Structure 1
């Protein structure tokens, strides 16, 4: 690969993002440093060669940074010349409406054409490949689900770009570098380095302000009634657990990026992300990994089930931790999801390789304690990271068990579709490495409205009032940070 080109290291990557944001299609995959205790790398990309989008039943390839179909022009001629086998595929998918084409199938086809297993190592997790999001409702392309929940937002169910270069910030080694695909011209990489290092290239933005406070789409009495319905489904044998959520909406003005910087200071998490969309932005402060796969095919998933609030009084805070550790209800809920995920990753992993490596670890964040387990496996040689993602999607920790019936109940009882919430954000490198989050603690800005969701796993012995309060424990610090900063 050309480079890597060394860059100056900073404990926060926000300034680098502001220098590449204007290039279009930019993503910040943010470890939350320096305040987050976990996470090692920040990954920043921009200028995708092309994008794969799934919206309203149509799978399509679009040009890198504009809303037109793929076409041969000055921006991408060099890319198609170095990848001639892609030209026919790219044109085919951009010029026809392919409602019957599964988005994961197209993504896998592109991955198999582009992945070259370029040599890399743990200090460079990503040098080129796919970066983007997979909305929760992309699950409708995998399973037949009802359509009760209102579908009023415009964000596509999936949008993933193919990126040929990246800024990698390694907080463990305290160094930063610009890396690229081995066919990316070295002269172009040096031009990028000059642009990235120029303080004059910092994008300007307008101050973010909440103009109408967040309000839920579900009144408290409605919430309790819907949990009663879930309890009836559980006792009837339909399911064991359902992850039920409600949605919050506010109005804002200004630049969502400024809002994201406020949130990352209030709630640093290891799977944070920011991305500008056509009509707003995605602001994710997720603490949860979905599925990860390294170059050797080792698979890891780390579901979160079990939450307690934090308290400034150490004695009270320790009591919350002890209550979480000893809670039979939370441990049983965690085990249910561990079993579901063991089943999901077994679909693409070698028989006998899947096991629960850790159960019931307690992780601590600014506003909550979480109960986290770790499940590992070994990917079958003929399977790709995209196969793994598809067969696990959406994550079991945010659906319930059994998964399909839980998703049917979610669609029946939640008033609005989830869109970006409880989907996934991440990267799939040409090397075969993949890492993805579960998009909880995630906000969607669209047309000057801000949306976020909060929920939890409901089981037979759930206490409705406690579950309701837990949803606020999970996101109050986000909502208050934005409303106070206004």
Structure 2
């Protein structure tokens, strides 16, 4: 961008202008770039792969440490700058505050930029729904981890990898009203590019070994017997006509000594997925390889993609095909999936143009490292008067993490689950400065805090659910995180082959998850 173009955009009233340069990306990867350039509180790495890692997406994003952060705890909003609290206020609707905050940044339409140059990056936890649905505002279970309900980094310094062109877009944003804004931006770009020349920190290539972690070391805070009893309780609600499906989840945890970035390195190797992200949020980190879109908005086009219907991966290609055939022939799984397609259509129908909603992909099987799912794609066109935040209000949480009818399912989840879900089941991703949004559902996701790793997984309970199988499904869904923890604690030496899903389990009877930490609910 030339000084003349910058001045012209400033004259048009834009107050948040991206200034960019391109450099070759042939000597760096997004992961090495993050480790060299961006590590620190309020930084992130966003990557994507499809088909179990056979194809990696065009763009990856590295967010350098953000100076400003928005946090929401219940009805309290906290705005921090450089670690200091600048503003603290109460609000019945924090989502309206977030939307107003974003609207202060007037971002110009500029051609030839990547799909994302910066924005509000972080998460909206599952409990964000309480700002939208009044019936669940006062029924929240206890909070046992203590993370904010919403956390958004104000991300202005970004490196975007373009794997097609072999380039890195180095991007900073400035307010032209500030003195010497253009020169300041150029100096910042110089610093960012120079940082690419730095060496990887000592020890990153040979991480230390921690205590060995096995699946049976993970402790359930729910407990198998109570979980199974609550599956039966949900089936009673279904028979009574209260609800058609409820997604019941359990949280598992284990002590961990590894750096969270090594957990991410293990997870991306073991389970490459469409939404892979590492976020360092100061006193905790998020590590994820989520397979599922929560909601995406790309220039008025809305996309949701329900995943429902699960089988474990086979030990070889023949067993994979057999498992797929069984999955697509299972009337329970098909009925559940069709119900969740309808729920997705209804959710986006609240903000999309009449007649614009269509199912563009119907019940295909997607394979991941440890499980396979039935997936469908639903698209629509958002009405001009609605925004990304309106789409988030309409969809969070999705039916695949709650149930149907949604609000009654939310009430039953609050009644039965022993603790607040927090980040699990919420939206993780970005609201970009240009008005677009891309968010994943926080599943296959680990929270690392105070040297403890937390992972949560759910199962959709319907009328003919078998409690033991629903419990087993939650274990299968959490297995990629469990194995990543084992690999990270083992120094990243190799994939934990003794628990490879493609190999027979030597001891099918051994316990998978330990005893619960908390008491059984009465």
TM range (shorter): 0.7 to 0.9
Alignment partners' CA distance in 2, 1:331 and 1:192: 50
Q: Give 5+ residue unaligned stretches, structure 2.
A: 1-17, 176-181, 490-522
Q: How does 1:24-423 map to 2 (within 5 A)?
A: 24-32=41-49, 35=53, 37=55, 39-63=57-81, 65-66=82-83, 68-70=84-86, 94=87, 96-98=88-90, 100-120=91-111, 124-144=114-134, 145=136, 146-147=138-139, 149-181=141-173, 183=175, 185-195=185-195, 197-200=196-199, 202=201, 207=208, 209=210, 213-295=217-299, 297-423=300-426
Tell me, yes or no, if the aligned pair for 1:350 and 1:377 is still in contact at 8 Å: yes
Tell me, yes or no, if the aligned pair for 2:159 and 2:170 is still in contact at 8 Å: yes
Of 134-143 and 167-176, the range deviating more from structure 2:
167-176
1:18 corresponds to which residue?
A: 35
The TM-score normalised by the length of structure 2 is 0.82
Instruction: Give the C-alpha shift of residue 202 in structure 1.
Output: 4.3
Alignment partners' CA distance in 2, 1:352 and 1:26: 40
Instruction: Give the C-alpha shift of residue 143 in structure 1.
Output: 2.0
Instruction: Give the C-alpha shift of residue 137 in structure 1.
Output: 1.4
Alignment partners' CA distance in 2, 1:10 and 1:392: 40
Alignment partners' CA distance in 2, 1:45 and 1:204: 23
SS at 1:124 equivalent = coil
Tell me, yes or no, if the aligned pair for 1:443 and 1:450 is still in contact at 8 Å: yes
Query: Residues 37 and 367 of structure 1: is their aligned pair in 2 closer, same or farther, counting only changes over 3 Å?
Result: farther
Q: Give 5+ residue unaligned stretches, structure 1.
A: 71-93
Of 150-159 and 476-485, the range deviating more from structure 2:
476-485
SS at 1:160 equivalent = strand
Tell me, yes or no, if the aligned pair for 2:141 and 2:419 is still in contact at 8 Å: yes
Instruction: Give the C-alpha shift of residue 203 in structure 1.
Output: 8.0
What do residues 205-238 of structure 1 show as CA deviations (whole Å, max 9, x unaligned)? Answer: 6747357721212332222111000101111111
Alignment partners' CA distance in 2, 1:182 and 1:351: 39
Tell me, yes or no, if the aligned pair for 1:350 and 1:380 is still in contact at 8 Å: yes
Tell me, yes or no, if the aligned pair for 2:278 and 2:287 is still in contact at 8 Å: yes
- Aligned residue pairs, count: 456
SS at 1:312 equivalent = coil
1:83 corresponds to which residue?
A: none
Alignment partners' CA distance in 2, 1:435 and 1:478: 23
Query: Residues 473 and 117 of structure 1: is their aligned pair in 2 closer, same or farther, counting only changes over 3 Å?
Result: same
Tell me, yes or no, if the aligned pair for 1:286 and 1:442 is still in contact at 8 Å: yes
RMSD of aligned Cα (Å): 2.3
The TM-score normalised by the length of structure 1 is 0.88
SS at 2:425 equivalent = coil
SS at 2:393 equivalent = helix
Tell me, yes or no, if the aligned pair for 2:75 and 2:93 is still in contact at 8 Å: no
Q: Which has the larger radius of gyration?
A: 2
What do residues 418-469 of structure 1 show as CA deviations (whole Å, max 9, x unaligned)? Answer: 1111111111112222111001001111112111011121111222222222
Q: How does 1:405-484 map to 2 (within 5 A)?
A: 405-484=408-487
